[in-house]
Amino acid sequence: MEFSLIDRIRQRTAQARDDVHLGIGDDAALLNVPAGQQLVAAIDTLVDGVHFPHGTAAADIGWKALAVNLSDLAAMGATPAWALLALTMPDAEAGFVDGLADGFAQLAQAHRLALVGGDTTRGPLALSVAVHGFVPSGHALLRAGAQVGDAICVTGTLGDAAAGLQLLQESGNTDAHAAYLIERLNRPTPRVEAGLVLRGQAHACIDVSDGLLADLGHLCAASGVGATLDVSRLPRSHALLDLLGEQASRELALTGGDDYELCFTAPVERVAALQSELARLGCGAAVIGRIVAGSGVHVHDADGQALAFERRGWDHFGA
């Protein structure tokens, strides 16, 4: 890691953790995984103009790069611990690095996560974050495990981030609703605490990063089951419904990416208790469908009428 930049980033992300034997500053970090815990590890990249609009504020980029990774830990029911940050940018602009580190640190501190190492390189703006957490051995939440008859639930609201992106690209709308949706795009809230509640309670879980249809499809494929979804029950924010109406908001809630809510399945009789527990965290959880025998995700309206959707979610290399 470039030394002047390291120091700037290190100063801004300082977070004491007893399990960090050696953090930033040597060839690698030295870390202690607590006894009885498994290490949970994931990596995700954000590319300028692909995963965030060009011109996004540095602090938002820093926040989001960590948020999308914490969301992966949340989906496993893991407690966050450490991150490595690989930052590529065209030139070493101190103000940009400071902003980015501040946004990263703001979210890191909320989860007591320590930045323990990294790399800064010259090139087109992009960030890869590798994140590490713990689960009690053998108790992670997985995509596999959904059972026929399970209720399918989703936290929070869907479609907001996709609407926020449309607003940024297509309109000059800056009212409160627009601001809310753009904030949802730029500052997603990883559902870490919800994941901890769901561990040992939900049968299967995935985070909604590429769009509900795509991600629920992954969960079903991993579990060897199918799903039916009632579009009328998709949780949507007041901002989304007010701005886009029922029909357009449904489409975004089904296919829009970047919301980083958790989609999970659980026995029907357990759902009410889980909803109460999540509500105590300030996290809504709506029942949106059922796990069925077979394969694929089948969407219907409130009357049971089948619906087809062309675009099934975010394809990183799609047309």
Binding site for its own copies (CB under 8 A): 2-3, 21-22, 25-33, 35, 38-51, 71-73, 75-76, 78, 82, 84-86, 88, 91-92, 116-124, 126, 128, 130-133, 135, 137-138, 140, 142-144, 206-207, 218, 222, 315-317
Helix axes 58-76, 176-186, angle to 10 degrees: 70
Query: Is the CB of 128 or the CB of 249 nearer to its own copies?
Result: 128
Taking the complex as a whole, the smallest distance from the CB of residue 230 to its own copies amounts, in Å, to 25
**Smaller CB distance to its own copies: residue 146 or 244?**
146
Contact criterion met (CB below 8 Å) for 52 and 71: no
Amino acid letter, residue 307: L
| Rounded Cα gap, residues 148 and 189, in angstroms | 30
Nearer of residues 40 and 163 to its own copies, judged by Cβ: 40
136 token code pair: 């009690």
Least distance from its own copies to the Cβ atom of residue 100, Å: 15
Considering the complex, what minimum distance in angstroms separates the CB of residue 117 from its own copies? 6
Short-list 191, 203, 198, CA closest to 291: 203
Q: ∠ at Cα 269 (267, 274), nearest 5°?
A: 80
Q: Where are the alpha helices (DSSP H) in 140-283?
A: 160-170, 176-186, 192-198, 212-223, 238-255, 271-280
Query: Nearer to its own copies by C-beta: 30 or 268?
Result: 30
d(CA 61, CA 125): 10
Least distance (Å) between residue 227 CB and its own copies = 18
- By beta-carbon proximity to its own copies, the closer residue of 125 and 178 is 125
Return the closest-CA partner of residue 205 out of 192, 258, 88, 127. Answer: 192
C-beta closer to its own copies: residue 155 or 237: 155
CB 71 within 8 A of CB 189: no
- Minimum distance between the CB of residue 120 and its own copies, rounded to whole angstroms? 6
**Element (H or E) spanning 145, and its range?**
none
Structure tokens at 228: 């039916």
Decide whether 142 or 292 has the Cβ nearer to its own copies.
142
Nearest approach in angstroms of CB 167 to its own copies is 23
* Shortest Cβ 222–its own copies spacing (Å): 7
Query: Cα–Cα distance between 291 and 209 in angstroms, integer?
Result: 20
CA distance 172 to 114: 38
Name the minimum Å distance from CB 214 to its own copies.
9
Measured from the CB atom, the residue of 194 and 244 that comes closer to its own copies is: 194
